Structure 1
């Protein structure tokens, strides 16, 4: 690690990026998060000085604005915004370490990026229909494992877990006494959280773990919770395919918002929290949001849905004719 009292102006930025990533890794973010940081930082860096070695002294507001202007060409605003955030975090690290006096990213424009609207499953009874269908053994499958599939869906629907959070779970991640059970989650950005779970969800996970013992023998607390049909830790692509398969088997694929897939289950959890009266702060804690604005979006959507339901009341049409 550099000493802040030393002159670091001639230090190659690639070395500083590695130090930044190492510091981030201590917080144990998901591998996907670290890869995104590296990709965003190196992509913009390659546009400064035509790919030549870039030192800290080369990172001026002017050079960064030019690089981001080129980087933005043909990219979605969300991608540019994410890259800007990565560089903002990078410079925040450099400031804390005493390598730079201030963060120049305030002088680099960023696109306005609206928080995406929630995308829950469509249909009032869709979650229940999905769980009921998947809980039944489907003989068309080569090696059906309904206990595992239901456990995946239930943890997303009833605890609001992200895909990366499901993959990081261990069999010992469910803790606590009866009536006070919770699941310990390694959240986004390395932010841990604890989500209460009801006895019904606890029982679903227990049935899955029992079925896994029957298939593969001993299960240890530090083993990955979810495995494939050969007993290997489930990977990102495998989990995505599993959820898509569940939608098809339940006949609800047309009720899944485009691009949502597993995230639609998490959005359904949050939307139902809002419908049942949870405030934005409670939703924020349960879902591990970094911003209260994101949580507020679920409440605003629910309010809009309520307004639409009132407007659809047939009595209103009679009133219009009076």
Structure 2
């Protein structure tokens, strides 16, 4: 059992971040943890006007009342999403401290938490943009140093036609593509350890077959063993996160659609395009949830709500509706 009275918040934050680092979060995520913990900890003083040096804040002073005051001060100038993220970070921090025997309980359930807004979908902009992207990448360009259109097209097809996340694409094996003709599928290791199966149609299957054939020609038959990574770089090594992001961005540039990719979306814009088109074509929220591997129906429902809003905007812009509005207004 740790000595609660001698445990400074600063030291315990470092222990918590060390524990989190073993789970391999991104540097951005670790920086966000540190920022949320240190900023709120500095607001735990009695008046909140002078930030406290957190090296002098003992963990034993962070009662539910103190944390409520600190979060009220933290929330005042910030957006809901930022407050929700900080609450979750502190909840994880105290859960860690309870497990380590540093504190007897977690005060965060007594601290109000705003409901996190669901992120808005960010599909590619433009009705025919996905088709333009696929067509451009399928054409081998002479100015590329080492063109591999079969591989690039396979990446885009899996994201645009199966809705896979970046991490899911990287986790695919050659054997992940399975099933008989007419019943082909991709077995996906989904987020949060939730496996799922996504059906693929004949066109996607053909793209993958062409890609694997091209890989055999480049690296030999041993390169496409069932347990090999499905997606590899131009040296035959498994693609990594940065390499896959760069590949997708280069596809956007080659297709000339960079201005139609929502800021910060990158590969996720392809997944959102898949889901948005499902909604536009009448898929239910439950179907979208299963295909995308969402943890909750609410995440899937956002695609249907966005589509419904777009449909209403289109109807509103119809010239006949506008003419009727003018008649009613006496114009």
Aligned counterparts of 1:231 and 1:313: Cα–Cα separation in 2: 53
Tell me which of the two structures has the higher relative contact order, counting C-alpha pairs closer than 8 angstroms and 6 or more residues apart. Answer: 1
2:156 maps to 1:150:
no
Contact 2:2/2:101, CA 8 A, preserved across alignment: no
The 1:57/1:150 distance shift into structure 2, 3 A limit, reads same
* 2:319 aligns with one of 283, 304, 314: 314
1:80 offset after TM fit, Å? 4.3
Q: Is the 8 A contact 1:120 1:268 kept in 2?
A: yes
CA RMSD, 1 decimal: 3.4
Consecutive unaligned residues of structure 2, counting only runs of 5 or more, are 42-51
Deviates more, 1:283-292 or 1:78-87: 78-87
Candidates 101, 108, 111, aligned match of 1:108: 111
| SS of alignment partner, residue 290 of structure 1 | coil
Give 1:233's match in structure 2, choosing from 226, 232, 238: 238
Alignment partner, residue 168 of structure 2: 165
- Whether the aligned pair in 2 keeps the contact of 1:45 and 1:67 (CA below 8 Å) is no
| 1:276 equivalenced with 2:281 (yes/no) | yes
The aligned residue for residue 263 of structure 1 is 268
Asked if 1:285 corresponds to 2:277, the answer is no
| TM-score for both structures, normalised by structure 1 | 0.80
- SS at 2:174 equivalent: coil
Residue in structure 1 matching 2:203, options 200, 203, 227 = 200
2-side partners of 1:53 and 1:290: how far apart? Answer: 40
Residue 189 of structure 1 aligns to a residue whose secondary structure is helix
- The corresponding residue for 1:125 is 128
In 1, the alpha carbon distance for the partners of 2:62 and 2:187 equals: 40
In structure 2, the CA distance between the partners of 1:58 and 1:284, relative to structure 1 (3 Å rule), is farther
Q: CA 1:311 to 1:43, structure 2 compared with 1: closer, same or farther past 3 Å?
A: closer
Cα pair 1:9 1:56 within 8 Å, conserved: no
TM-score by length of 2: 0.78
- In the alignment, the residues of structure 2 paired with residue 113 and residue 153 of structure 1 have an alpha-carbon distance, to the nearest angstrom, of 31
Larger radius of gyration: 2
Separation of aligned partners in 1, 2:240 and 2:70:
35
Q: Secondary structure at the match of 1:183?
A: strand
Deviates more, 1:300-309 or 1:80-89: 80-89
SS across alignment from 1:194 = strand
Q: 1:20 to 1:265 in 2, by over 3 A?
A: closer
Partner of 1:28: none
Q: Quick one: structure 1 residues 321 and 42, their matched pair in 2 at CA, closer, same or farther if it must change by over 3 Å? A: closer
> Do residues 221 (structure 1) and 226 (structure 2) align?
yes
Q: 1:284, 1:158 → 2: CA distance? A: 15
**Deviations for 1:170-216, whole angstroms, at most 9, x for unmatched residues?**
22222222222221222223322222222221221121122112112
Q: Paired residues, what number?
A: 308
1: distance between equivalents of 2:57 and 2:17?
12
